[in-house]
Amino acid sequence: MKEALLQYAWQHKLFYTGKLATIKGEKVEVIDPGQLNKDAGPDFFNAKIKIGETLWAGNVEVHVNSSDWKNHHHSEDYAYNNIILHVIAKHDADIFRTSGAEIEQLILPCHEDLESRHEALMEPKSFVSCAKHLDKVPRILLSGWKNSLLTERLELKVNDIEILLQNTQNNWEEAFYITLARNFGTGINSIPFELLAKSLPQIYLAKHKENLTQIEAMLFGQSGLLNQSPTSDYANKLKQEYSFLKAKYKLQPIDAHLWKLLRLRPQNFPHMRIAQFATLTSKSSKLFSKVVNAKSIEEMESLFECSTSEYWQSHYTFNKTSHPKQKPIGKSTIKILLINSVVPLLFTYGRYKSDERMQEKALTLLEQITPEQNSIIKKWKQYNIVATTAFDSQALIHLKKQYCDCKKCLQCRIGHYVLTQNP
Ligand code: SF4
């Protein structure tokens, strides 16, 4: 048995309580297994255990073998002097505190099929290892678990935003601009897009917001893509503008090779995204303030509705032409921007300002947005786990990426259900 599973069995009392006895034969009663410690030190704090006729309060350590105690040097570590019980799967040594006093040990009689159920969860499967149990998971359990998952996901995003705020002297507009840029990269180009935004402070764009050509010149120039453009009136104009603005603001472009075009549909080429980002930047100054003050999802969406300049209506790259047509930011892209930029920023802002209504506004927004339709969400649907809003889809994406793919079934509520329910 793995140590993590033994710990889990102890934590959740998944053992036969009537059979508990120390290896010396003293009866054991677990009144409280203690609190799991995820940091250095004993595995469980503040346990309450009756051994024989004596009630003990203290810490508990869990190992597969008794000899692990010595192998981990706990017999010389004062932090382990308050261990009242050593919980093990196999007894192969007596163990002692630094004082030389012997520590009681208990071979944990785990529920008999716990290990086999856990092994089944750890087996690699095409999507999730608990698939055959999913239709039995109570909806109420799933609903509560999605709430917790969504909170965890938001916390990860809040952490990223806090780092951005630290690096921008608490400039919310700048943090929003960089987050927005990252999400304009729609996954595959998110890193170069973020680097592009970081290389070009928003304040420079704001100074030239009346002149879309200058904004495009700065963005395409800083992206490195302008260097690769063939000669044309438009490209020459951008190069001329960029040369002047680059010197004026002492700008350093990023490496053009960071951008990826392979397997992308032309409307998602970085050139198209940069052209749309340029128009959005030129049309909206203080976009984050507008987002904060928007009264409805429709108002919020309308803030991101814009197309490209004329040149990009007939081009996908500097080399690749297209039939002339409007190329606005699509509804699905606006949805991604709302989910991944607006919601986390609003939520973080609400927390900073101790404004619960702002945090509520962020969560309500997620509930108003339709779910993403990516491969993860489609797969969950095959197992009848259906996302009805972006709140759900974000939670399910988090579950797959942060739990299923990392084999963290012991920390998952569905995993707990699978491990503990009667067959
Ligand atoms: S983490 Fe949870 S949902 Fe994912 S495979 Fe394990 S038990 Fe299933």
Quickly state the pLDDT bin for 284 (edges 50, 70, 90): confident
- Helix (H) / strand (E) element for 355: namely none
Residue 397 inside a domain? The answer is no
Residue 104 inside a domain? The answer is yes
Residue 225 inside a domain? The answer is yes
Question: From the CB of 415, is ligand 1 less than 6 Å away?
Answer: yes
Residues 205 and 334 in one domain: yes
Question: From the CB of 130, is ligand 1 less than 6 Å away?
Answer: yes
Domain boundary among 92, 112, 132: 112
Question: From the CB of 396, is ligand 1 less than 6 Å away?
Answer: no
Q: Which atom of ligand 1 is nearest to the CA of 403?
A: 1
Rounded Cα distance between 168 and 366, Å, is: 27
Matching residue, tokens 């570590």:
77
When the pLDDT of each residue in the chain is averaged and rounded to a whole number, the result is 95
At 222-256, the pLDDT tens digits run 999 998 877 889 999 999 999 999 999 999 999 99
CA of 403 to the centre of ligand 1 (A): 6
Give 124 or 266, the one with higher predicted confidence: 266
- Helix (H) / strand (E) element for 62: namely strand 54-62
pLDDT at position 124: 83
Residues 107 and 187 in one domain: no
Question: From the CB of 376, is ligand 1 less than 6 Å away?
Answer: no
Residues 210 and 297 in one domain: yes
CA of 17 to the centre of ligand 1 (A): 28
CA of 276 to the centre of ligand 1 (A): 39
At 96-126, the pLDDT tens digits run 999 999 999 999 999 989 999 999 999 988 8
Residues 331 and 200 in one domain: yes
Question: From the CB of 121, is ligand 1 less than 6 Å away?
Answer: yes
**Residue 284 contacts residue 303 (beta carbons within 8 Å):** yes
Rounded Cα distance between 328 and 216, Å, is: 16
Residues 275 and 178 in one domain: yes
pLDDT at residue 423 greater than cutoff 80: no
Question: From the CB of 129, is ligand 1 less than 6 Å away?
Answer: yes
Residues 348 and 201 in one domain: yes
Ligand 1 binding pocket mutation candidate from 403, 417, 421 (most atoms within 8 A of CB): 403
Question: From the CB of 390, is ligand 1 less than 6 Å away?
Answer: no
Residue 403 inside a domain? The answer is no
Residue 296 inside a domain? The answer is yes
CA of 120 to the centre of ligand 1 (A): 11
pLDDT at position 58: 97
Other CB atoms within a 10 A radius of the CB of residue 84 amount to 21
Rounded Cα distance between 158 and 197, Å, is: 19
Strands (E), 226-357: none
CA of 143 to the centre of ligand 1 (A): 15
Residue 385 inside a domain? The answer is no
Residues 12 and 103 in one domain: yes
- Compute the average pLDDT of residues 370-396: 96
Residue 193 inside a domain? The answer is yes
The CB-side HSE value for 236 (13 A sphere, CA atoms) comes to 3
Residues 238 and 355 in one domain: yes
Domain boundary among 89, 112, 135: 112
Q: What is the dihedral of CA 144, 403, 107, 101, to 10 degrees?
A: -100
User: CA 243 from chain center: how many Å?
Assistant: 39
Q: Give the domain range for residue 310.
A: 171-368
Q: Are strands 54-62 and 44-51 parallel, antiparallel or unpaired?
A: antiparallel
Residues 190 and 80 in one domain: no
CA of 225 to the centre of ligand 1 (A): 43
Quickly state the pLDDT bin for 60 (edges 50, 70, 90): very high
- Compute the average pLDDT of residues 149-158: 96
Question: From the CB of 49, is ligand 1 less than 6 Å away?
Answer: no
Question: From the CB of 128, is ligand 1 less than 6 Å away?
Answer: yes
Residues 65 and 177 in one domain: no
Question: From the CB of 248, is ligand 1 less than 6 Å away?
Answer: no
- Compute the average pLDDT of residues 264-278: 95
Atom 6, ligand 1: which residue's CA is nearest? 409
For CA atoms 162, 163, 166, 172, give the dihedral sign: negative
Q: Which atom of ligand 1 is nearest to the CA of 413?
A: 2
Number of structural domains, the chain? 2
Ligand 1 binding pocket mutation candidate from 117, 119, 129, 132 (most atoms within 8 A of CB): 129
Q: Which atom of ligand 1 is nearest to the CA of 130?
A: 8
Domain boundary among 79, 112, 145: 112
Ligand 1 binding pocket mutation candidate from 8, 122, 125, 130 (most atoms within 8 A of CB): 130
Question: From the CB of 412, is ligand 1 less than 6 Å away?
Answer: yes
Atom 8, ligand 1: which residue's CA is nearest? 130
Question: From the CB of 8, is ligand 1 less than 6 Å away?
Answer: no
CA of 284 to the centre of ligand 1 (A): 43
Q: Which of 39, 5, 123, 146 lies closest to 407 in space, CA to CA?
A: 123
Residues 107 and 191 in one domain: no
Residues 302 and 196 in one domain: yes
Long-range contacts of 38-41 (CB under 8 A, 24+ apart): 40/79, 41/79, 41/80
- Compute the average pLDDT of residues 46-69: 97
CA of 398 to the centre of ligand 1 (A): 11
Residue 274 inside a domain? The answer is yes
- Helix (H) / strand (E) element for 31: namely strand 28-32
H helix runs in 132-171, sequence order: 139-167
